[in-house]
Structure 1
Amino acid sequence: MPTLFRFLLMCAGIAGIVYGTLYALAVFVEPRERDITVRLPSERVNPPAPVKPTSAPATP
Structure 2
Amino acid sequence: MLYRGASASGGIGTVIGAIIGALVMGVLNNGMSIMGVGSDWQMTIKGLVLLLSVAFDVLSKRK
Q: TM-score, normalised by structure 1?
A: 0.40
| Larger relative contact order, structure 1 or 2 (CA cutoff 8 Å, min sep 6) | 2
